[in-house]
Amino acid sequence: MGVLLLLVGSTGVQAETVIGRVVAVSDGDTLTLQVAGRESVRIRLAGIDAPELDQPYGAQARRALTALARHGTARVEVVDRDDYGRLVGTVYVGGRNINAALVAEGAAWVYRRYNRDSQLPILEAQAKAARRGLWGLPAWQRVPPWVWRGQDSPATRSPARPQTDRPVALFRCGAKRTCREMASCDEAKFYLNVCGLKRLDGDRDGVPCETLCR
């Protein structure tokens, strides 16, 4: 095992290929490699976003990545390093593209905000049409991880908020069930539209908790 550094002349950016043994799987899109001559290296799979462990299908996504990669020798084509120090890249085990395999199995969304692989949206559409993996869940449970984490998305972004990949504490589906438990109109709308809590919209006019959302 070793590390191979390649120079991409067209961009002047140094691209790294890391080869190591998969020794741990943290969740559906993060694993750890043991690389010869280096400490263990955490890898974030590029272009995809798997359900968080505390959301529907999170545990299944982790098992899917484990089945594909655990204890195998992986080759990672690194494209970036994220804010948490993880290398971000496409992972190959036995010549198989693990990023693509997870999307094809319905174990991860395409992370369109960062994706550079034109094949991933095609695989996602096929998985969705076949209702594979997370696409077989009820619609109200299919919450994209970036929404679950409360970070910026087209549905939650406001001009005053910077676009960042750091998790930001906003809302997440939890134990709240009534309008009296909602702290704001925005939270009520999140529970209605994302969590599927229809009881908040008693008159079915699309506006939840009208005492908050006047």
**What six digits make up the tokens of 115?**
């994706």
Nearest partner of 201 among 189, 183, 187, judged by Cα: 189
To the query of whether residue 86 is one of the catalytic residues in this protein, the response is yes
Determine contact, residues 83/110, Cβ cutoff 8 Å: no
Give the C-alpha separation, 143 to 55, whole Å: 8
To the query of whether residue 132 is one of the catalytic residues in this protein, the response is no
Give the C-alpha separation, 155 to 205, whole Å: 19
Catalytic choice (16, 21, 38, 52): 52
Give the C-alpha separation, 15 to 21, whole Å: 20
Catalytic choice (62, 86, 142, 149): 86
Catalytic choice (16, 39, 42, 44): 44
> Which DSSP string do the residues of 180-206 spell out, in sequence order?
GG-SSHHHHHHHHHTS--GGG-TT-SS
Catalytic positions are: 44, 52, 86
